[in-house]
Structure 1
Amino acid sequence: MRFYYGEKNLHRVLDEMEFWKHQESEHTVVIREVASDLEPAFVCRLQQFELAFQQTKGLTVRYIETIIRSKGNIFPDMQQQMMELVRFAICQSQQFILLLNQILAESAAAQNNSAVSVVVNHIRRESEYFIGIAQTILSC
């Protein structure tokens, strides 16, 4: 993590979001590579999440740059927008976890290949970790 935020928890969670949204985007690729026979509907949804994670990361980076340029002095309306992005990012990860659970439950590619199941479960735990970190930082 960067150290531009001091004790400011919103700044800390944005820093975490930048990292984890990058990870989640990469994870969509990993799943598609490991499960080469994954059903087309799941492939499509993973591709949609990949793009969505990249967009969320991009917006997060823009907010981080704003904080750095302003030396942490941000207007309340900008802070509110950042909080809304954090809530959105948490919800986005929760929706991704639902998709991962659906893949494990319904995909023959996951059910017939233990490596796919292990990878998807690992990725799910990482997204759960991000949610936990974000919620913990915000509650401090």
Structure 2
Amino acid sequence: MQFYYGQQMPLRILDEVEFWKLQEEEHTVVIREALDNLEQEYVDILKKWEQSLSETHQKAVSFVESVNRSQYVYKQLQTQVIQLVTFSLDESMKFIELIRQIKTHSSAAKDNMTAKTILDHIIRESEYFIGIARAVLYSDRS
């Protein structure tokens, strides 16, 4: 991510949140579809995660609309954007924990190299977003 967006920086990070939360939401479906015989408890948890990630995605979309319509990004709006980024980072870290749990404990994934490859890919993508979010949060504090 480039840091020369200046006044548009909140919009840039919101674009990232919007994109990656949609990706994570879709990943819940990919996991459910790709892992044959995934235990019902994981199916149910992934459906709840799909809903939560969708809600975060929609919040990002709403903030994009607010920033787009603002002549100036007021401190309160910028603070709310940073709070959303912080929440999104934490959410992605917890999502990774779930994926690792599935990879380790699910019989549908444990001995299935294809499933492990898919899960590892999903983890890497969420880790990429975490890196972006941390960069934004740390640069905001300096």
Common fold by TM > 0.5: yes
Match of 1:88 in 2: 87
Higher relative CO (CA 8 A, sep ≥ 6), structure 1 or 2?
A: 1
Match of 2:101 in 1: 102
Q: What whole-Å deviation, never above 9, does each CA across 1:100-119 have from its counterpart, x for those lacking one?
A: 11001100000132111110
Matches of 1:81 and 1:133, distance apart in 2: 17
Gaps (5+ residues) in structure 1?
A: none
Matches of 1:88 and 1:30, distance apart in 2: 23
Whether the 8 Å contact between 1:25 and 1:53 is mirrored in structure 2 is yes
Whether the 8 Å contact between 1:25 and 1:54 is mirrored in structure 2 is yes
Aligned pairs, number: 136
Q: How does 1:1-140 map to 2 (within 5 A)?
A: 6-8=5-7, 9-71=9-71, 73-140=72-139
TM-score normalised by structure 1 residue count: 0.90
Whether the 8 Å contact between 2:10 and 2:67 is mirrored in structure 1 is no
| Deviation of the 1:7 alpha carbon | 2.1
Matches of 1:34 and 1:68, distance apart in 2: 38
Aligned AA (1:86): V
Q: What whole-Å deviation, never above 9, does each CA across 1:107-135 have from its counterpart, x for those lacking one?
A: 00001321111101100010000000111
Measured on the aligned residues, the alpha-carbon RMSD in Å equals 1.6
Gaps (5+ residues) in structure 2?
A: none
Q: What whole-Å deviation, never above 9, does each CA across 1:12-47 have from its counterpart, x for those lacking one?
A: 211101100010000000000001211111111111
Whether the 8 Å contact between 1:12 and 1:137 is mirrored in structure 2 is no
Matched position secondary structure for 1:14: helix
